[in-house]
Amino acid sequence: MTATRQPTDDSARYDIPAHASADDPRVLLEEQIGVYEPVPPFPPRTEREAEFYTVGDGEMLINIGPHHPSTHGVMRIVMKIDGEKVVDLDPVLGYLHRGVEKICENADFHQTITHLDPLEYVSSLFCEWPAVMAYEKLLDVEVPRRAEYIRVLSGELNRISSHALAIGFHALDLGGLTPILYSFIERDEIVEMLAALTGQRMLFNYFRIGGVNGDLNHEFMSRLGDWMSRATTEINANLGLLNENEIFVRRNRGLGTIDTETALRMCWTGPNLRATGLPFDLRRAHPYSVYPELDFDIPTRAEGDSLARYLLRVDEIKQSLRIIDQCLQQMPDGPVMAKLPRLLRPRPGRAWAGIEGPRGEYGVYAVSDGTDQPFRFRIHDPSFLHLQSFNLLIPGNLMADWMAVNASLDPIMGGVDK
Amino acid sequence: MAVVGRRFSRLSLPAKLFAVGLPVLLVAGILTVAVLILALPLVVSAAEDNLPLVRFLVAVVAVLLLTVPTAFLVIYLELKLIARMNLRIGPDRVGPFGAAQSVIHGLKVLTKEDFTPSGADRLVFTWAPVVVFMATVMTLLVIPFAPGLFGTDFNIGLLYVFAIGGLTIVGLLMAGWASFNKYSLLGGLRSAAQAISYEIPLSLSVVGVVILAGTLSLNQLVLNQAGSFLDWYVWQQPLGVLIFFIAAVAEANRTPFDLTEADSEIVAGFATEYSGMRFGFFFFAEYVNVFVVSALLVTLFFGGWTAPFDWPFPIEAPLDPGSLGITLLFLLAVVPVVATLLFALPFWLGRSSTPFWQALIIGFVIFNIVAVAAVLGWAFVSFDWVVGLLWFMAKSYVFVFVLVWMRATLPRVRVDQLMGFAWKWLLPAALLNLFVTASAVVILAELQ
Amino acid sequence: MDRRLKRRLESRFADRLAGPIRQRHDETELRIGPGDVPDVMRALHDEPELRFEILADLAGVDTGHAMQVVYHLWAPTTPDWLRVIADGLSRDDPRVPSITFLWKGAEWLEREAYDMFGIIFEGNRDLRRIFMPPDYTSFPLRKDFFLPDDAARSPGAGVRQMERTHVPRDAPATGHIRRTPAG
């Protein structure tokens, strides 16, 4: 677009401090390092920053993260606390920002699928799904029904494994060491199944434009059948470890309560929104794939607190099992991939696709300009918006409550930071 | 000189150590022997005059030496038991069934870099782990492990235990403050608040036992519970034992009350800035504290070293080795040889592939095992302190198991819920227990 | 493809549309100018016939000759997604009124669009960078983003403490758009 610019040397414009180390003028020496206050480098640039970084009497700023066992990834929260009580929060993101959107602008349509897996890495299939749906809209491709059923089947398996992980980490963040290992039993089996199907245990790279990459095989079906026969009892036993634990319930009940109206204003979706009472599920609200043919309920809970979100995830696992059952019974025969040219050049246009992932609405907006690379590839991640609500949910509670709320919202920083 | 230096540098490392060490050892040995010969009568007479002091010194050394293997054992148990409860295996590489894992942890902790953060108060930072560790270890001095096997028979032993146990709070606060780190400060303050809140129910819950026994001496408390398990104070103080157990778990900073080291909240709490052996002190102190808490529980409520039923041992065995005289020496010379040959014979005769010398070695090993077992059995049968010690350890480790079990199963309590529980529930319950016990004692005395 | 929705939108927003309403598959697309954003969004959100209560996405797009802000909305009244494209923002000084008065959750989405493109959302209380470091001097997703130039000024080049990076002496107190020398 513009002519090549030469790199400019701005060192003269910058304020290099007088005491520099002998070998490297940019390194600060020990005596300059005072108290490590997480202050911003500039004078406050926005209203909110000024409000937050003004520390009142008895308050102190403390960093949670980025190295922290409970931040579900690499995230930094600057907390203003008054003793143990949290007064305000400022999440700082970007530690895991990989520039995926920019990378995808320079990659073929097929290559972008691989770039999307590591976003919400625990539920990778749901990261690929809206992208392939958007491309199929751009290319006007009809996906074979068998491929759709396989997508739903593998997607629901991934949903179960993602919820199991979320539940386990919820318990771990509150101090229980055991439930995570029990929920990882489920996740382990599902991950092995999906490895038999897709070839990978975690970042599956399975969905393709126009279908999926390979049909069901014997190993997958045998593992799946084996697991389905004991799934309900196992899930009830393993994942119900905490439902009635007094300590767990008391730490979660009434915490981080949000009502539906506020949740809609904060653009929440997914189980977090359904836990406030609104049965908004994209699989029913805006049906895609073969979900109209499948019979399942949308669990909701009315309280809107952390315990409701936790219990809702357990309910959703049960619904997913129903869906998997129906998929297996109704699976049609046919091809698993539509016939497409190898080099894809869609007409210039725009397409949006949103699906119901385990954390909420996961969306992709793809703009094509007629070449074989997307012109603009926008990824919308649900956890990004859930993290924004910390300022509503946590002030007034204790620092330990931040762990409980964070774990119940189930963010995945890979998706948040893209 | 240069020749010596050149030849020295050509030696291998073990040889160098040998070449330097052997003359040093010889000189040191000769000097020590000389000093001993000259000074021994003086030392012996001084010791004879101050026998209780000598006994106390020996006890202190024994207790200090006991803490580290205890910590190792408790750490190993925790790793293995929590792993089994998590459907995992736990350490199983480093020794038979991973038994040497704790030792390796100890060595690892010794070899780490030991630094003080800049800005930290050096003196306080260095002494905090010492205070915590010593406070924990000193409680072991008054606990009776077996009849006659205690550090000192304090007649205010119980008071001493709670007083010294309170010193750990000082240590934690020192650690939290001196680390120059907000996380540590928060952790230290939390732990101080927790420990102080639970001190009171802890002390009050045992006052019931003190009223029943009439003494603060731990040794006397155990002797009062001798007989059968119906004499144990747990039946007479059910509420007391419950309160004591919960408060002691909170004092020991164990889950569900382990928010001082809540590693998913404030990383490592007060110990965030500690590394190397300083952290090792905190680490060991925690696990020794687990043992101490169990030991106290057993001593106060579950009979200490007494057996739960009429244990027929020790038997006064009519064996007096001294009466054999010269035959003893003869036996000591002959029996090992004969026994080795005897145990070796089946292996040599039965398997044609075993050479004689190999069979001899196997026989010797078996003789050693049999001899040690026989000696231990004889000690068990004839010394009441061996019996008492075994019963005490068995009971204590049952409660160590319970504490480890609780860590594996329960999530963490929040700090305000914890304090609320201590002040609103445990304290009134302890007072109620005290009131009921005291009135019962008075009423029963009136009725008789 | 909901024809009724198209007719309803055409009749309601006839004067504000900057182009025809396009429909394809299950999406309806609306183009407006940046100044019309608050009114149109408020109408879409509040009117009982439209009720687009769920903001699904807010994205910035750099088309090479102009910038756009693209909103995706969902309503229970129609089976289509609604895409509202606020088109025609200049590439040198893109400004759009913020919709945080309707959806508080749009605050971070707008921060992301600012961070990646430099689009200023007027009325957003907290328009600072969200992914890039706070004193990053470039906007990555723009089509004229040139990496080596940016890396020379990157604060990560050798300074140890990220938060205490150096302030250019003539940096104004609030965030500003970096003008490209080529115009």
B375 and B270 within one domain: no
DSSP structure string for C170-181: T--SS--PPPPT
Residue A81: phi and psi, rounded to 5, are -120, 150
Which domains, ranges and CATH numbers included, belong to chain C? 3-152 (3.30.460.80)
Residue C36 tokens read as 């019309």
**Which of chain B's residues have a Cβ under 8 Å away from the Cβ of A84?**
186, 190, 415-416
b/e sequence C35-69, b meaning 16+ C-beta within 10 Å: ebbbebbebbbeeeebbbbbbbbbbbbbeeeebbb
Q: Are residues A206 and A336 in the same domain?
A: yes
- Do B200 and B293 have their domain in common? yes
Q: Which two tokens stand for residue A270?
A: 């997914």
pLDDT (tens place) for every residue of chain C, 183 residues total: 788 888 888 888 888 888 888 898 889 999 999 898 999 999 999 988 888 989 999 999 988 888 999 999 999 988 989 999 998 888 888 889 999 999 999 999 999 999 898 888 988 888 888 898 776 777 888 887 766 555 545 554 443 333 333 445 554 443 333 333 332
CATH number at residue A292: 1.10.645.10
Same domain, B364 and B340: yes
Mean predicted confidence (pLDDT) in B189-211: 89
Closest CA to B129 of B318, B308, B276: B276
Buried b (16+ CB within 10 A) or exposed e, A189-210: bbbebbbbbbeeeebbbbbbbb
Same-domain pairing of A178 and A195: yes
For residue A403, tell me if it sits in a domain.
yes
CA distance C102 to chain A (A): 7
Is residue B147 domain-resident? yes
The reply to whether A194 and A62 lie within a common domain is: no
Averaged pLDDT, B373-396: 83
B267 and B334, same domain (yes or no) = no
User: For A36-62, what is each residue's pLDDT tens digit?
Assistant: 445 555 566 777 877 887 777 788 888
| Residue-level length of chain C | 183
Choose among B82, B118, B255: nearest Cβ to A175.
B255
d(CA B356, CA A400) in angstroms, rounded, equals: 69
Does this model's pTM top 0.90? My answer is no
Last residue of a domain, one of B382, B403, B434: B382
Q: What is the DSSP letter of A347?
A: P
Q: What is the pLDDT along chain A (418 residues), one digit of tens a residue?
A: 333 333 444 444 444 443 334 444 444 444 444 444 455 555 667 778 778 877 777 888 888 878 777 668 888 888 888 888 899 998 988 888 998 998 898 888 989 999 999 998 999 999 999 999 999 999 998 999 999 999 999 999 999 999 999 998 998 888 888 888 888 888 999 999 999 999 989 999 999 998 999 899 999 999 999 999 998 888 888 777 788 888 888 888 888 899 899 999 999 999 999 999 999 999 998 999 899 999 999 999 998 899 999 999 999 999 999 999 999 999 999 999 998 888 888 889 999 999 999 999 999 999 998 888 899 999 999 999 999 999 889 998 888 888 889 989 989 998 898 8
Q: Is B229 part of any domain?
A: yes
- Of all residues in chain C, the one with the smallest CA distance to A20 is C159
A225 and A297 in a common domain: yes
In a domain, B84, yes or no: no
Q: Of A40, A70, A92, which one is at a domain's C-terminal end?
A: A92
Residues A105, A73 share a domain: no
Confirm whether A14 is domain-assigned: no
CA C52 to chain CA centroid, nearest Å: 18
φ/ψ (deg, to 5) at A7: -65, 135
SS3 label, residue C131: coil
Residue B313 pLDDT grade (very low, low, confident, very high; cuts 50, 70, 90): low
Q: What share of chain B is helix, strand, coil (3-state, %, to 5)?
A: 75, 0, 25
- Strand, helix or coil for residue A40: coil
- Asked whether residue A284 falls in the same domain as residue A248, the answer is yes
A15 touches chain C (CB under 8 A): yes
Residue C62's beta-bridge partner residues? Answer: C67
Same domain, B249 and B368: no
The predicted complex's ipTM stands at 0.85
Residues B123 and B262 grouped into a single domain: yes
Q: Do A259 and A147 belong together in one domain?
A: yes
Q: Last residue of a domain, which of B360, B382, B404?
A: B382
Q: Containing domain of residue A351, as a range?
A: 100-417
Residues near A411 by beta carbon (within 8 Å), at least 6 away in sequence: A72, A73, A75, A359, A383, A386, A387
Å from B204 to nearest chain A CA? Answer: 25
Residue A275 lies in a domain: yes
In a domain, A364, yes or no: yes
Angstrom distances, CA of residue A188 to CA of A143, A164, A183: 30, 10, 9
Question: Do B325 and B212 share a structural domain?
Answer: no
Flag whether B333 is in a domain. yes
- Residues A354, C33 contacting (CB under 8 angstroms): no
B343 shares its domain with B239: no
d(CA B27, CA C30): 98
Q: What is the CA radius of gyration of chain C?
A: 19
Give the distance from residue C31's alpha carbon to the nearest chain A alpha carbon, in angstroms. 13
Residues B47-64 as b/e (b if ≥16 CB within 10 A, e otherwise) read: eeeeeeeeeeeebbeebe
Chains in contact with B, where contact means 3 or more Cβ–Cβ distances below 8 Å, are A
Residue A84 to chain B, least CA–CA distance (Å): 8
* Chain A, window 368-387: residues with a beta carbon less than 8 angstroms from a chain C beta carbon: 375-376, 378, 380, 384-385, 387
Q: What is the pLDDT of residue A29?
A: 44
Q: Is residue A185 part of a domain?
A: yes
A109/A153 same-domain check? yes
In terms of residue numbers, what domain contains B282? 112-310+412-447
Rounded distance between C-alpha atoms, residue A258 and residue A269, angstroms: 13
- Residue A12 is assigned to a structural domain of this protein: no
| Contact present, B176 and B184 (Cβ < 8 Å) | yes
State how many domains chain A has.
2
Is the same domain home to A117 and A235? yes
Task: For residues A158 and A198, state if they share a domain.
Answer: yes
Q: What is the pLDDT of residue C164?
A: 36
In this prediction, residue B262 carries a pLDDT of: 59
CA distances from B131 to B74, B137, B167, B190 (A): 21, 10, 7, 18
Whether chains C and B touch (3+ CB pairs under 8 A) is answered by no
Report in angstroms the alpha-carbon separations of A89 from A78, A114, A258, A318, A358: 6, 35, 17, 35, 26
A196 in the same domain as A48: no
Question: What value does the mean pLDDT take over residues B177-198?
Answer: 83
**pLDDT tens track for B63-78:** 888 888 899 999 999 9
Both B124 and B263 in one domain: the answer is yes
